[in-house]
Amino acid sequence: MALINDGYLEFEELNKLQKLPSEERYAKGPVAVIECVQEIPCNPCEAACKFGAINVGNPITNLPTCSHDKCTGCGVCVSKCPGLAIFIVNKAYSETTATVGFPYEYMPTPSEGMAVSAVNRKGEVVCDAKVVKVVNPPAFDHTPVVTIEIPKEYADEVRSIKRL
């Protein structure tokens, strides 16, 4: 498995281990994609979601599951997940583009409108991107959630940006 040998998830691997949003759900707008696939003792994502979309339950080592229909794509869980393993994907952003929201804890924090390089799970640059939103309220406790706009075909691949 690429994940435990090389440190990144192949999309196919992720698809097998986590329930991903359906294409119908994606068509409705932003939604959380949880890329947490190991049974570790962790559950802050569950408490973070005030819409009750995320469930870990008992025991705490259960994988989190997301009821994508309850999820509004608000991004609160993204900032609360210590594994930085939750992303907000909006495949309905425009005709040709999608957005990906991810936690970004490096300095400097990107600013809206900035041109950046989007990277995949391996850290390889995939395409150019534009920062469309940076959300960093005190409640996020220094984990800004950065949203970038990318060509739609890369929405399942892009998960961060090259460090500035």
Partner 1 sequence: MLERDVLVVGAGPAGLAASIEAAKAGADVLLVDLNMKPGGQLFKQIHKFFGSSAHRSGTRGFDIGLKLLEEAKEAGVEIWLQSTVVGAFPGNLIAIEKGVDGGAKEVITLKSKKVIIATGASENVVRFKGWTTPGVMGAGAAQTMINVNHVKPGKKIVMVGSGNVGLIVSYQLMQAGCDVVALIEAAPKIGGYAVHAAKIRRAGVPIYTKHTVVEAIPGEDGTVCKVVIAQVDDHFNPIPGTEETIEADTVTIGAGLKPATDMVKLEKCQLTFNGPFGGFIPLHNDKMETSKSGVYVAGDATGVEEANTALEEGKIAGISAVESLGLISPKEAEKRRIEIWDRLEALRMGPFGERRQQEKDNILKEYEEKIGTAVEMD
Residues that bind partner 1 (CB under 8 A): 3-9, 35-44, 46-48, 58-61, 80-85, 105-107, 119-124, 141-143, 159-160, 162-163
Torsion of CA 12, 34, 81, 74, to 10 degrees: 140
Query: Of 27 and 106, which CB lies nearer to partner 1 in the complex structure?
Result: 106
Return the number of other C-beta atoms located less than 10 Å from residue 7's C-beta. Answer: 10
71: partner contacted, choices partner 1, ligand SF4, none (Cβ within 5-8 A by kind): ligand SF4
Q: Which residues bind ligand SF4 (CB under 6 A)?
A: 32, 34, 36, 42-45, 48-49, 51, 53-54, 56, 64, 66, 71-77, 81-83, 85-86, 88
CB of 94 to partner 1, least distance (A): 25
- Which of 140, 137, 142, 36 has its CA nearest to residue 86? 36
Query: Of 77 and 131, which CB lies nearer to ligand SF4 in the complex structure?
Result: 77
141: partner contacted, choices partner 1, ligand SF4, none (Cβ within 5-8 A by kind): partner 1
41: partner contacted, choices partner 1, ligand SF4, none (Cβ within 5-8 A by kind): partner 1
| Residue 30: DSSP 8-state | -
